[in-house]
Amino acid sequence: YINEIYALGVAALKSGQPFFRVHLFPFKLELENLSKYRSNQWYPFWVNLKEGYDYFNKHKRPPNVEVSGGKYTFGA
């Protein structure tokens, strides 16, 4: 799918859009899936990503993402 993402990004930039965002997750960040990786070194990071994953599932649009205190924050 990377070719499709690249093509969409190029089209957006050529059309005058100043930037575009790509939100990627390592797997479906649902509690059942996430709990399988509790001992993984990346678990705390994935828990943080889950906030953005949940935002998207609730609002059906990508959140605004910022970094604060070394973690991602997600909002409108």
pLDDT in tens, the chain (76 residues): 899 999 999 999 999 999 988 888 999 999 999 999 999 999 999 999 999 999 999 999 989 999 999 999 998 7
How many whole angstroms separate alpha carbon 39 and alpha carbon 44? 10
* pLDDT value of residue 50: 97
Strand 71-75 to 64-68 pairing: antiparallel
How many whole angstroms separate alpha carbon 68 and alpha carbon 76? 16
* pLDDT value of residue 41: 97
* pLDDT value of residue 1: 87
Residue spans of the domains in the chain: they are 23-75
| CA distance readout (Å), 30 to 18, 37, 63, 72 | 33, 11, 17, 18
How many whole angstroms separate alpha carbon 63 and alpha carbon 30? 17
* pLDDT value of residue 11: 97
pTM confidence score: 0.78
